[in-house]
Chains A and B, each alone.
Chain A
Amino acid sequence: MDIGTITALLFLALIIGLLSGAPLVMVLGGTTVLFTYLLLGPQALMMIAANTYGVMHNFIIASIPLFVLMGSVLERSGIAVELYDTMYKFLGSVRGGLAVGTVIICMIFSAMCGISGAATVTMGLIALPSMMERGYRKEVAIGCISGGGALGILIPPSVPMILYGLFAGESIGALFASGVFPGMLLGGLFIAYILVRCYLQPDMAPALPVEARPTWREKAGSLKGVIAPIILIAAVLGSIFGGIATPSEAAAVGAIGAFACAAIAGKLNWSIIKESCYSTLKLSSMIVWIIMGGTAFTALYTSVGAVDFIKEVMGTIPVSPYVVLLAMQCAVFVLGMLMDPGGIIMICTPVFVPVIKHLGFDPVWFGLLFIVNMEMAYLTPPFGFNLFYMKSIVPADVSMGDVIRSTVPYVVLQAVCLIICILFPELALWLPRMLLGG
């Protein structure tokens, strides 16, 4: 059988497996077992176990549960309440100010933990009731939380970036650094949109009445809630970007720091420690098992000659490299509507990255575009994580349709950010080059 037919059958099997509703790890693992047996013979199945040992023995992947633990503790630490209090006091007097504050808190959370869910759930519980109470319309209140929450994977640290780095063989530090400016740009676009919209339509999100506005003394007092998160962010990201610590070391320090934050807030007790460990385990075991399946799949696909095949096909396609790049982004966007980001990265990276390198594009830049694209995956129906998170939190009279409509402007802004990053690669690549050289 030639490699073209094998590729077609392999991906057909993946698609059928995915549609059948089996867990992603089993779709990847089971398909790999079947094809390894058929193509390479029973003794080659040893490769699957050997690759799984490789994943269990990988110090870089060990950073994933640590970043998840960090987020999981911070989610329960009461930091979000204090941050919201600060934002409320400083921004409440501006139209739409609480929504702007929510986006800023989401950005701070994004810089503290590697996953998207923590900020969405926390802000949904804290900011949403407060904004609704202050007369914010639901499309503003819900939209800013779903949109802001998705920033989690773009602003470092980021678990999807770690996954991409693993499968593309790129530096995790460089990928993290590439997300800083695009993340700030996207957050800035969200904030600008909220301010303009609320200025033009004052009833969308009223400012606090004059008599309810805090004094400067109260404002200054609320600033103490910001100190701990800023120290934590500086310690974790600073040590990675400074080239001092590996991501795993920085993540461990961050997780310990998160416990310290919870302790300072007086929230550290046995049940929080226990709950954080259990929920961290569930989430990271899910991710790491998928990595095991994905590694096995990639190893099989490589050993049947995928890289040469891809190069050969690319050599025969008579279009500009940018057309290929855009086609890939479209494919990723469509997959984003159907699947979760981790799975998409694991399936697409082994196929796309050799092509990207062959075409002469920078794989770090492509990874960044991939991640910005995945931002949209969190908000696009029918399978958008943040839509489900939000629906589970909003009052009963808010329908799924309301949630989806509220996120439309944010998806548009994410697409704008993606286009800007494609047109101006320096936005992503300048910082990694400054920090890490090369």
Chain B
Amino acid sequence: MEGTRKILRWIDALSEWTGKAVSFGILGLAFVIGYEVVMRYGLDDPTIWVHEFSVMLFGTAMIISGAYTLRYNGHIAMDIAYGRLSERTRAILDVVTCFALTLPFLVVLIWFGGERAWKSLIRLEHDSTQWAPPIYPFRLMLPIGAFLFLLQSLAKLVRDFIIIFGGKSEAGR
């Protein structure tokens, strides 16, 4: 039990720190696009790199933070019927939906995203634009982000099992 709890805390911490790290990407996004606005409209000297760089910042921040948002229960759900159930019944439902919906979706993203990222990585693929940045690190973000999300979902799954078979005290965060 102690070992399990340690792993759960470790997954929470991983989601926490990856999420907090990429959150500053949004700050970067604002200032990078702001820089482009000044260069283009102010100095009439548009950059060739801002557009691609900003979508990379955006995509990375959004995909990596799925786990962080899950950790804080931030993915909205419709709780009209669900909210009235007992904690144990909710945990059972969560286990069912985790296997039926969450795991298939994330596994598909990891598998097929990973395939695409791998093809990109072995060719050290660059974007086919004027700036031509390496694109493979960005391609890797999808399987990584989905994997982090998967880890946090599995942590939730374990907690649900603890609620179902033990008591809520054991599941404490």
Seen from chain A, the residues whose Cβ lies within 8 Å of a Cβ on chain B are 17-27, 29-34, 45-46, 48-50, 52-53, 55-59, 61-62, 65-66, 69, 244-245, 248-249, 251-253, 255-256, 273, 277-278, 280-286, 288-290, 293, 338-340, 342-343, 382-383
Instruction: Tell me whether B147 is interfacial, beta carbon within 8 Å.
Output: no
Are B37 and A249 touching (Cβ within 8 A)? Answer: yes
Q: Note all chain A residues with C-beta closer than 8 A to B34.
A: 252-253, 255-256
| Leading 6 A-B pairs by shortest Cβ distance | A30-B101, A21-B82, A56-B59, A29-B105, A252-B33, A23-B75
- Decide: A277 and B26 in contact? CB cutoff 8 A: yes
Give the residue name and chain of the B residue nearest to A385 (CB). Answer: B76
A48 engages B58 (CB within 8 Å): no
List the B residue with the shortest CB-CB distance to A276.
Answer: B27
**Which residues of the other chain, B, contact A278 by a CB distance below 8 angstroms?**
19-20, 23
A273 to B31, CA, bound (A): 13
B116 at the A interface (CB under 8 A): yes
The stretch from B4-12, B60-68, B160-168 touching chain A is B60-68
Contact indicator B113/A52 (Cβ below 8 Å): yes
In contact, B94 and A21 (Cβ under 8 angstroms): yes
Residues of chain B with a CB closer than 8 A to A33's CB: 104-105, 108
Question: B30, A48: Cβ atoms under 8 Å?
Answer: no
Q: Report Cα–Cα, A282/B65, bound state, in Å.
A: 7
- How large, as a class, is the contact surface on chain B? 35 or more
Q: Does B155 contact A (CB under 8 A)?
A: no
A252-B77 in contact (CB<8A): no
Interface residues of B in 66-125 (CB under 8 A from A): 66, 68-70, 72, 74-83, 85, 90, 93-94, 96-97, 100-102, 104-105, 108-109, 111-113, 115-116
Q: A40 to B110, alpha carbons, bound, how many Å?
A: 20
Instruction: Please state if B101 and A26 are interface contacts (CB–CB under 8 Å).
Output: yes
Which of B90, B111, B113 touches A53 (beta carbons < 8 Å)?
A: B113
Q: 13 A-B residue contacts at CB 8 Å?
A: A19-B81, A22-B94, A22-B101, A26-B97, A48-B112, A49-B113, A66-B30, A69-B26, A252-B34, A255-B30, A278-B19, A285-B61, A286-B76
Q: Once the chains are docked, how many angstroms separate the CA of A280 from the CA of B31?
A: 15
Chain A residues with Cβ under 8 A from B19's Cβ?
278, 281-282
Chain A residues with Cβ below 8 Å from B75 are 23-26, 286, 289-290
Whether the pair B65, A285 counts as a contact (CB closer than 8 A) is yes
B26–A65 CB distance below 8 A: yes
Alpha-carbon separation in the docked complex, A400 to B76 (Å): 21
> Is there contact, CB below 8 Å, between B30 and A45?
no
Contact residues in A for B27 (Cβ distance below 8 Å)? 69, 273, 277
The contact of A284 among B62, B80, B97, by CB within 8 Å, is B62
- Asked if B116 and A49 make an inter-chain contact with CB atoms under 8 angstroms apart, the answer reads yes
Chain B's nearest CB lies how many Å from the CB of A60?
10
Say whether A20 contacts B74, CB under 8 Å: no
Contact status of A59 and B51, CB under 8 A, knowing A52-B109, A281-B19, A282-B65: yes
In the complex, B29 has a CB within 8 A of chain A: yes
Distance between B160 CB and nearest chain A CB, rounded to angstroms: 12
Query: What residue in chain B is nearest A278 (Cβ atoms)?
Result: B23
Contact A20 B76 (CB under 8 A): no
Q: Does B22 make an interface contact (CB < 8 A)?
A: yes
Contacts A59-B55, A285-B68, A382-B80 aside, 9 further interface pairs with beta carbons under 8 A come to A21-B94, A22-B97, A26-B101, A45-B108, A45-B112, A244-B41, A249-B33, A282-B19, A340-B76
CA distance A46 to B116 in the complex (A): 9
